[in-house]
Structure 1
Amino acid sequence: MNDDDIDGDEERRRVPAELRGYLEELVRRVRAVCGARVVSVVTVGSVALGDYRHGRSDVDVVVVLEPDLPGSALTELARELAHPRLPCPAAGLELVVYGADVAASTSGGAGFLLNLNTGPLLAERADRNPTGAAAFWFVIDRSIAHRAGVTLWGAPARRAIAEPAPAGVFAALRAAVREHADGAGHLADNRVLNGCRAVVFCRTGRWRAKRAAARETAAAEPGFRPLLEAALRSFERPRSAADALPAAEVRAFLAWAGERVEEAAAAAGG
Structure 2
Amino acid sequence: MEDYAGNVASAMAATLGSRLVGVYLHGSAVLGGFDARRSDVDVLVVCEGPMTAVEKSAAAERLSRERLPCPAHGLELSIVTFSAAQHPTARPAFELHVTTAPEDTKYVDGHDREGDPDLLLHFAVCRSAGRLLGPGRPAPEVFATVAEDLILAQLARELRWSTGHAPGEYAVLNACRAWRFAVDGALVSKIDGGRWALDRVSGPDGELIRTALDRQRRLSAAELDPRAVQRFVDHALSRLTETSA
Alignment check: 8 A CA contact 1:187 1:242 kept: no
Q: Within 5 Å, give how 1:227-266 maps onto structure 2.
A: 227-237=208-218, 244-266=223-245
* Residue number among 110, 123, 127 corresponding to 1:146 in the alignment: 127
Distance 1:134 1:61 in 2: 15
Structure 1 unmatched runs, 5+: 1-18
SS at match of 1:97: strand
Which of residues 45, 69, 88 is equivalent to 1:106?
A: 88
Q: How do 1:126-137 and structure 2 match up within 5 A?
A: 126-129=107-110, 131-132=113-114, 135=117, 137=118
> What root-mean-square deviation, in Å, do the aligned CA atoms of Structure 1 and Structure 2 show?
1.8
CA distance in structure 2 between the partners assigned to 1:58 and 1:203 by the alignment: 27
Greater displacement, 125-134 / 67-76: 125-134
- Which amino acid in structure 2 is aligned with residue 203 of structure 1? V
Corresponding residue number in structure 1 for 2:63: 81
Equivalent position SS for 1:220: coil
* TM-score, normalising length: structure 2: 0.93
Amino acid at match of 2:30: A
- What SS is found at the alignment partner of 2:32? coil
User: Take 2:177 and 2:115, find their aligned partners in 1: how far apart are those partners?
Assistant: 22
Structure 1 191/134 Cα, relative in aligned 2: closer, same or farther at 3 Å? farther
TM-score (norm 1): 0.84
Q: 1:54 deviation in Å?
A: 2.4
Aligned residue identity for 2:108: D
Indicate conservation of the 8 Å contact 1:84/1:119, yes or no: no
State the percentage of identical aligned residues.
29
Pair 1:249–1:132, CA change in 2 (3 A): farther
Match of 1:172 in 2: 154
Q: Does 1:210 find its partner at 2:219? A: no
Which residue is equivalent to 1:72? Answer: 54
* 1:82 and 1:119 in contact (8 A); partners too: no
Letter in 2 for 1:255: D
1:38 and 2:3 correspond: no
Give the 3 Å change call, closer, same or farther, for CA 164–89 of structure 1 in structure 2: same
5+ residue gaps, structure 2, are none
1:52 aligns with 2:52: no
Number of aligned residues: 242
Rounded Cα–Cα distance in structure 1 between residues aligned with 2:62 and 2:121: 26
Report what 1:5 is aligned to.
Answer: none
Superposed displacement of residue 89, structure 1:
0.4
